[in-house]
A = this chain, B = another copy of it.
Amino acid sequence: MLMSLPVDLTYERFQQLQLRLDMSRGKPSPEQLDLSQALIDEAGEAGHLARDGFDCRNYGLASGLPEARELGAQLLGVPSAQVIAAGNSSLELMHDALTFALLHGVPVCEAGERVNCGAPWRAQGEIAFLCPTPGYDRHFAICEALGVRMIAVPMREDGPDMDRVEALVRDDPSIKGMWCVPLYSNPTGAIWSDEVVRRLAAMPAAPDFRLFWDDAYRFHHLTDEAFATLDVVEACAAAGHAERVLMFASLSKVTFAGGALAWLAAAPHNVTWWQKHAAVRTIGPDKLNQLRHVRLLHERATLTALMARHRALLKPKFDAVDAVFRARLAGVPGVSWNVPRGGYFISLYAPEGCARRTVELAAAAGLILTPAGAAFPYGVDPRDSHLRIAPSFPALDEVRLAAEGIALALLRAIDERRA
């Protein structure tokens, strides 16, 4: 069907196709979910007994099943004593870490020794987070909801503008944290350079400053090269700021979205801090689900093989978007897009003032895109230029169609503006 779309397809004719396509969220496709079907089909074989005979059907192990912590340790490169294996999403862990910090403060250390617990962030007046932009809308929603002022810093190919970050953080102790998606950043696909990571680890900052290190796409490569960012836990320790980073990761886009498990990894004082506050909140994670995951994934090699199968399903969709954009948008002034080497998103940059209208026009043609501005603090893209495209969920043919629709909507928005 798609191959027959005429080169001179117009926005009106696309609209007449009366499609219903959703490219708004980074959801895995059903075929990707099928890759982990053994988690369901073979749940009976995983049973309920942990390696040491612990009954995973009962209370206990508030920091997670030891083998689930070890799997996290292996995958994240952090000792398992420094890894918490938790519930079904890293978003929850990030939200709760910020809440705990607001209400209770975080450990303040010098040379690895805990000096004391810093004052609750909430008690320190207005506090702020640095937000590399474009960034992840759910990070920004947490800050907005919790009353944490957001300071945008520009995102580059190799990570945030570090001159800007350092200048902001140096003289402002009210800046308590920074959102970081270090590998295949949502939504620009940036891969943060070793230098960026080292500078983040070493820069002068408030003693209770924290990098919220959302390693969401650590396993999600789209090319032959499995990119990796510098070990931030080690880099912070080497810089004398071991407690600076809280690392988050999950298996939500490895096995089942919402049905997987998440990890928090950090230096020992942070882990103790987390355990203290989390113990008040929860009786612990679903250890049966952790057990099923450990049985399915075993170790790094198993996960790597699984991610290669994800890639085989995802890569053609990303390629299809790129191919359509090349055909329709190459050479259009002010238009560009990235070809990500991993992750779940493509960023499409429209000429200034055209993004919101493109989303409207797409919607009018039955094509749901992420709201324009979503990747910016408070939902406001100052240039109204950025579009986030999530090609993972629809089938390949639909992705191609949707890319056509996006291109046509963008071209129409540019035309309207010119008129």
Contacts and interface: CB of A to CB of B under 8 A. Distances in A.
Interface of A: 25, 27-28, 30, 33, 36, 40-44, 46-48, 55-60, 87-89, 91-92, 95-96, 99, 102-104, 122, 138, 141-142, 145-147, 252, 256-259, 277, 280-289
Candidate in A30, A33, A281, A287 with the most chain B CB atoms within 10 angstroms: A281
A142 B278 CA distance: 10
Contacts of A104: 145
Contacts of A27: 58-59
Contacts of A99: 99, 103
Contacts of A286: 87-88, 258-259, 286, 289
Nearest to A29: B58
26 contacts: A28-B58, A30-B58, A33-B55, A33-B57, A40-B57, A40-B288, A42-B44, A59-B257, A59-B258, A87-B286, A88-B283, A88-B285, A88-B286, A91-B282, A95-B280, A141-B280, A142-B281, A145-B280, A146-B280, A256-B288, A258-B283, A258-B284, A259-B286, A259-B289, A286-B286, A289-B289
Contact of A146 (B91, B103, B138, B145): B103
A43 B122 CA distance: 44
The copy count of this chain in the complex is: 2
Contact of A33 (B58, B141, B256): B58
A344 to B, nearest CB: 12
Contact of A257 (B43, B57, B87, B141): B57
B288 A89 contact: no
A145 B57 contact: no
A44 B102 CA distance: 42
A56 B28 CA distance: 12
Contacts of A44: 40-44
A96 B58 contact: no
A249 to B, nearest CB: 15
Contacts of A257: 57-59, 283
A60 B287 CA distance: 22
Contacts of A282: 89, 91-92, 95
A258 B281 contact: no
Contacts of A57: 33, 36, 40, 256-259
Nearest to A55: B30
Nearest to A252: B283
B258 A145 contact: no
Contacts of A95: 280-282
A39 to B, nearest CB: 8
